[in-house]
Each structure stands twice: as C-alpha cells, then as structure tokens.
Amino acid sequence: MTELTKTLELKLVDPNVYKRQKLRETRDAYQQALQAAFAAGCDTQSAANDVVVEYDLSGYAKNALKKYVPQLCGNSYNADELHDDHPVRFTNEGLQLDHQPQNAIEWYVKVPHHEDYHLWIPARANPDQREWLEALYADDAEMGESRLFERDGTWYLHITATRDVEDQSAASADERTPIGVDIGEASLVTVCHRDEHGSPVRPRLWADDGKAVRRLRKTYFTAKRRLQQRGSERIAESYGDSLWDQIDDVFHRVTREVVEYAESVENPVLVLEDLTYIRENMDYGAYMNRRLHGWGFAKLHAQIRYKAAETGIPVETVNPRNTSKACHACGEHGYRPRQATFRCSNGGCWVGEYQADVNGAINIADRYRSGESHRRSDRTSRQKAGDDDSATDGASLTGPQDSQADAENQQTTRGTYAS
C-alpha cells in the first residue's frame, strides 16, 4: 500500500446574498488576524494565539493561523512580506461533508463562520475526484487542512485528503528499475535509467519547458515591478495570475509525461532528490536559499508523487549530496565548464564530457541502487501530512514564486478542477 495525499476541489454553488456576506466576513477577519500576527512577528504558536484570539473567527481558523504564522515568521518560510489575498485555512476538523446522491447537487459542506455559527452550502465536486470524496465521506480517507477562497466572484474549497492505495507493482526493491529524476532550471526535468547491462539509456530532457518557465517568471517579475511603480496593483495581480496559470499548466503537463515515461519502463521506481534533507542540512546562503524556495522544486515533486501513486508507481527519495558533481561512470568529482555540460576530472575515465542534467539523473538513480533511499515511514517523526515546507507532502506546494507565502496562495487560487 502507498499513502497518497491529494487536494480535492469543491466549487460552492450559488450561495445567497446572506451567505456570501458571511463568507466575506470570515475572509476579512482571517486576513486581518493573519496580517496582525505576521506584523507582530509571532514565531511561536503561543505568540500567534495571543494575537488571533481577539478576532471573530472559528477555533478551526484560529488554530490554523497559530500553526501557519510561525512558519511564515521564520520557522520554515522566513517570508519578507505577506501576500494580501491568502486563502482562509481551517484545521482538519473544520469542515463537514454531507452526501445526498438523490439530489441534482449531491454534495453539501458545512463551513465554519465563527465559534457558534456555521454555513451549510451546496458544492459541486471535480468529477474526476468523486471516488476520493466518497472515501472521505465514508471515513476511508483522512481529511487534512482545508482552504476557502473567492475567485472572480465564485467561492471554492480545497480539501487535503490522505488515503492508502494499492501498489500495482509487486516487484521487490531489487527487481525495480530506478529512474533518476533531476529537477533544475536549465532543463525543467531530466529523467534517465540504466538497462540490464548497466548502461544509461533513454534520457529525456524537458529543456524547452525550462526555457518557457524562466521566460514567464522573468516577464512576471519585470511587469510586476513596473506596474507597482505606476501604482497599478490590481492590473499587476490580474496579469500575474494569468502568467502563473501558464506556468502551472507547464508543470502539470511535464509531470504527466514523467509518469508516462516511467510507465514505459519495466518495474519502475521514480527516484527524487530529498529536498527536505537539503533544507535541513545544507546552507546555500541567502541567494540560493531564496531560489530553492522560489523555484518550483516542491510543486514538481508533489505532482510527480501523486500522479505516480495514482498509477501504482512507487516513488523514493535519496540524499542529493554531490549528485550534480560526481561522474556517473567513475565517481570522481568534476565540474561544469558550461551550464549543460559536465566534465569529469579523471583523465582515465571514458566519459570526458557528458550532458550535465543526465549525469545528475543517473547519479540519483544509482543512489537508490546503493540502498540510500529515504522511505516516507523513515521521516514521519519530522513530517506531518499537510506540512507545506516539505516536497514530500502531496500536492500542497506550488510552482515558482518569489516567496513561499505567495506560493501557498497561488496553488489554492488558480481556479477549480486543476488536474
């Protein structure tokens, strides 16, 4: 069995004027509490509680804030500024689902307003996620954090759910074919594996997609800066949403193609770099740390994980140390004379020069062969479902953003029925 976490999408159907007012009151109170706790620099749950307790919110929203604000203030994200349109978060017990299959609109959701008041609202589900919602309603899946937001006059709920799914592959670890997955900026994703003779075969690079995403990000940050200088905040936000949607579409297509590549390999296991290990044990300095959090590593990881799990393909992670520096043929360290080129420093090695991202992907696959994989069960003491700073937490993290706080909001506000 594989534990899979997925974000379920619900569109609230035509709330009346009164309920829309209550939803907006909840959102406004949440935004005010979040801004106040962030401005106060609350880096502990106790400090956050002292601020948010004064606001007219349900305990589910306050408890979510007490967990989230310390992450923003340095424990995980260390955000420099706060996005002004965060979704309203509720802890895992905040929502309640009701299913009436005989009705035209089958699903109803109880949304907390404040301590003594809730709103029952009909909701339309992503049809591709019906099985998941039914599992959640039947207590065969575990509800995690949920997020409420408004987009173009329509209200949406995203609910994190976790359940066990059957592994389709019965192959043992020794029988599996590890496929190394290298995520970067030059080539957005690179995959490669070895054949039965140990030779690297069928490398695939998504280099054009890397160029496309870099261009979109550059366009966004340049346009945002210019529009903000002119005082056109609303135009900057609307324009940015369009660009982020384009980036997100690239991410979803590329990760689907990665899983399709794995499906073409006998007894595959996708091997990713353990980015949690990177964050906890390596110091890249302010510039590289910002890029690690800003680039879409975590979201690409999350999407590969849940799409692979849905097809029964196992995913493992390995310690990424030196996978980009070591030669896949002899193990000696080399260097990059150019961004896409790896040069081995061992004069006796046959490699000489090699495509750098493919070299890294092979090294990642070889780490699994050497027994260095980090299984999910080995990390449960330091990771919980729904923690958004880890690349292993389902689909909860998002694509390239300038801060992790912005990343959180973009994932939850891109619209309904994301793939």
- What is the predicted pLDDT for the residue at 99? 87
Helix (H, G, I), strand (E, B) or coil at 147: strand
> What's the pLDDT at 415?
32
Residue 288's Cβ-side half-sphere holds a number of Cα atoms within 13 Å equal to 7
104 Cβ contact partners less than 8 Å away, ≥ 6 residues apart? none
Distance CA 112, CA 106 (A): 20
d(CA 194, CA 196): 7
Do 320 and 274 touch, CB atoms closer than 8 A? Answer: yes
Query: Which residue shows structure tokens 């689902």?
Result: 97
Longest dimension (CA), the chain: 77
CB atoms within 10 A of CB 335: 11
pLDDT for 413 equals 29
What is the CB neighbour count within 10 angstroms for residue 108? Answer: 16
Helices (H), strands (E): how many in the chain?
11, 16
Which residue reads 């000696």 in tokens? 332
Whether 205 contacts 187, CB under 8 Å: yes
CA geometry: angle at 124 spanning 166 and 158, to 5°? Answer: 60
CA–CA distance, 328 with 319 (Å, rounded to integer): 15
Give the length of the chain: 419
Return the pLDDT at 155.
95
Q: What amino acid is encoded at 270 in this protein?
A: L
In this predicted structure, what is the pLDDT of residue 167?
Answer: 59
For 49, the 3-state DSSP assignment is helix
Give the pLDDT of the chain (419 residues) as one tens digit per residue. Answer: 678 888 899 999 989 999 999 999 999 999 999 999 988 989 899 999 999 999 999 999 999 999 988 888 764 444 455 666 789 999 998 899 998 877 889 899 999 988 778 999 999 998 888 888 888 888 888 999 999 999 889 999 999 999 887 655 556 667 889 999 998 867 899 999 999 888 999 999 999 988 888 888 788 777 777 766 777 666 656 666 777 778 888 998 999 999 999 999 999 999 998 865 554 444 444 444 444 444 567 778 878 887 888 788 999 989 888 888 899 999 999 988 888 899 999 989 988 889 999 999 999 999 998 876 644 334 333 333 333 333 333 222 222 233 333 333 333 323 333 32
What is the value of pTM for the model shown?
0.53
pLDDT on residue 215: 85
Distances in whole angstroms, Cα of residue 180 to Cα of each of 56, 167, 228, 406? 49, 20, 42, 29
pLDDT score, position 185 = 67
